[in-house]
Amino acid sequence: MTDHDHGHDANHWREHGVKVIPGNSFDPNTAQTTGMNRATAINKARAGAEKIWAGTVTIHANAKTGAHHHGELESIIYVLKGQARMRWGDKLEYVAEAGPGDFIYVPPFVPHQEINASREETLECVLFRSGQEPVVVNLDIEPVEKPEDVPWTDPIHQ
């Protein structure tokens, strides 16, 4: 037995190896929030993933989601197309924008709202979460009228 054998039969990696999930087969049967459409690409049931969830989110032109959070889960949003405006805080009092090629990190329990900042173009993103549970806690928050703009800086490059 070599270091790469791991004692598996010849077909083990065929069933328990790399999975390619075609873009036209994502599952829309996941927790939803008003104003957006989520679809699952990777989870335990579909790909055998144990610790992560991945999918897509689409927000129609000039639309905004309801306020929500994802419990203990961390979320990462990668913007493919369009202009995302994120609002967050107890009264959604903070705001930042992201465009194609930008990543957005949402820590656990942070109340937030995704907004499509474009009146013409659909906002398309890829979404990753740190767990399998489809946790979406929809909140009843009356947003402030003038959110505070928060430019991004990391602790190293302030």
Q: Which residues of 55-74 are buried (b: 16+ CB within 10 A; e: fewer)?
A: bbbbbeeebbbbbbbbeebe
CA angle 64, 116, 68 (to 5 degrees): 40
The model scores a pTM over 0.85: no
HSE toward the beta carbon, residue 105, CA cutoff 13 A:
4
The per-residue pLDDT for range 87-142, each reduced to its tens digit, is: 999 999 999 999 999 999 999 999 999 999 999 999 999 999 999 877 788 888 87
Look at residues 114, 118, 113 and name the one whose alpha carbon lies nearest to residue 61: 118
Taken in order of first residue, the domains within the chain and their CATH numbers are 55-150 (2.60.120.10)
